[in-house]
Amino acid sequence: MAQGTERDQIKSGLKVGIVLKRDQRSGKITYGTVKDILTNSATHPHGIKVRLEDGQIGRVKEIV
């Protein structure tokens, strides 16, 4: 599984594991399909921020 710190690795429709804002302390991963990429920069050390198809927003921790 790849890390989600580089924007060019992430595309709409990709299955990913994200950490939601409320789960940052526990590190709980939520899985879903990318709808929108919200981070504008090419890389981000904590993961690229995305919106899933179901509307949840978080930073990509793994690409499934």
**CATH number of domain containing 54:** 2.30.30
pLDDT digits (tens, 9 = 90+) for 30-50: 999 999 999 999 999 999 999
Boundaries of domain holding 27: 7-63
Residue 2 has pLDDT above 80, yes or no: no
* Domain membership flag for residue 12: yes
Q: Three-state SS across the chain? A: CECCCEHHHCCCCCEEEEEEHHHCCCCCCEEEEEEEECCCCCECCCCCEEEECCCCEEEEEEEC
Q: pTM of the full predicted structure?
A: 0.90
Our count of domains for the chain comes to 1
Confidence of residue 3 (pLDDT cuts 50, 70, 90): confident
Q: Can you give the pLDDT at residue 29?
A: 97
